[in-house]
Amino acid sequence: MITYNILVCEDDKSIGNSIKIFLENKGYTVFNAYNGVEALKIFEEESIHLVIMDLMMPLMSGEEAIRKLRKDTYVPIIILSAKSEEEDKVNGLNIGADDYITKPFNANELVARVNSAIRRFYRYTEDENSDDKIEVSDAVLDLNKKILEINGREVHLTSIEFDILKLLMSNPGRIFSMDEIYERVWNEPAIESKTVSVHVRRIREKIEIDPKNPRYLKVAWGVGYKFEAS
User: What confidence score (pLDDT) does residue 114 get?
Assistant: 94
**Mean local confidence (pLDDT), 16-25:** 95
Query: Is pLDDT at 96 greater than 90 in this prediction?
Result: no
The amino acid present at 41, given as its one-letter code, is K
**Mean local confidence (pLDDT), 70-75:** 84
SS3 category, 136:
strand
User: What confidence score (pLDDT) does residue 129 get?
Assistant: 44
Query: Is pLDDT at 124 greater than 70 in this prediction?
Result: no
Q: Give residue-wise pLDDT tens across range 152-181.
A: 898 888 888 989 999 999 999 999 999 999
Helix boundaries (H) for the chain: 13-24, 36-45, 62-70, 86-94, 107-122, 159-169, 178-186, 195-207
- State the Cα–Cα distance between residues 130 and 194, nearest whole angstrom: 33
How is domain 5-122 classified at the architecture level of CATH?
Answer: 3-Layer(aba) Sandwich (3.40)
**Mean local confidence (pLDDT), 124-131:** 48
The amino acid present at 209, given as its one-letter code, is I
Could you tell me what percent of the chain has a pLDDT over 90? 47
Query: Is pLDDT at 127 greater than 50 in this prediction?
Result: no
Domain boundaries, the chain: 5-122, 133-227
Query: Is pLDDT at 36 greater than 60 in this prediction?
Result: yes
How is domain 133-227 classified at the architecture level of CATH?
Answer: Orthogonal Bundle (1.10)
Residue of 31, 29, 60, 63 whose CA lies nearest to 44: 31
User: Buried b vs exposed e over 10-35: b needs ≥16 C-beta within 10 Å?
Assistant: bbeeebbebbbebbeeeebebbbbbb
Average pLDDT, the chain: 87
- The Cα-based distances of 169 to 36, 46, 176, 211, 228 in angstroms read 36, 34, 11, 18, 8
Phi, psi dihedrals of residue 78, rounded to the nearest 5°: -110, 125
What pTM, to 2 d.p., does this model score?
A: 0.70
Residue of 157, 155, 181 whose CA lies nearest to 168: 181
**Mean local confidence (pLDDT), 96-107:** 89
- Minimum mean pLDDT among 37-51, 71-85, 105-119, 160-174: which range? 71-85
**Mean local confidence (pLDDT), 184-211:** 85
Query: Is pLDDT at 130 greater than 60 in this prediction?
Result: no
